[in-house]
Amino acid sequence: MSPFLLRTSVKFIAPIQLALALYFLLRGHNEPGGGFIGGLAAASAVLLYGLSFGIQEVESKLPVSWFSFALFGLSLAVFSAFISVFVNQPFFTGIWGPELYAPLVGKLKLGTVLLFDIGVFCLVMGFGVGLGFTFFAKEAER
């Protein structure tokens, strides 16, 4: 089967999937969703794209490795937990900022907790894509 059909559809589907992932992430605090789910969704989007267009196509667009991406997520999560220490609150206390109104998502309250969730998102996404691509690469070697 020619991958034409797959590629054409993925070209449309993958951006929607990514947008959906972000949507899951941002609305997670009030509606079903969150960093973990968003990360999984984003990972499946990228994996699908890589599967149909080849890994190089994706990795050439990204300046860092997926492992660094995941580590960035972990550091972000750790950092968000530390913010409270610097304003003399116990470790991991949620520090809240202003509330925004974001289109589609609705009310979005900024704060360290959201930052933590973004960290989880990045880690899960990096984990999923990194592993998947490593497997793909092994497969392509044979």
Q: Which of residues 1-30 bind another protein (CB under 8 A)?
A: 24, 28-30
CB within 8 A of 64, min separation 6: which ones?
72
CB of 53 to another protein, least distance (A): 14
CB within 8 A of 62, min separation 6: which ones?
69
Bridge partners for 48 per DSSP: none
When the beta carbons of 15 and 77 are compared against another protein, the nearer one is 77
Whose structure tokens read 């667009």?
61
Which residue type is seen at 129?
V
Q: Does 102 sit near another protein (CB under 8 A)?
A: no
Report phi then psi at 90, rounded to 5. Answer: -60, 150
Instruction: Give residues in contact with another protein (CB under 8 A).
Output: 24, 28-37, 40-41, 43-44, 47-48, 51, 67, 70-71, 73-74, 77-78, 81, 85-86, 88-92, 94, 96, 109, 111, 113, 116-117, 119-120, 123-124, 126-128, 130-132, 134-136, 138-139, 141-142
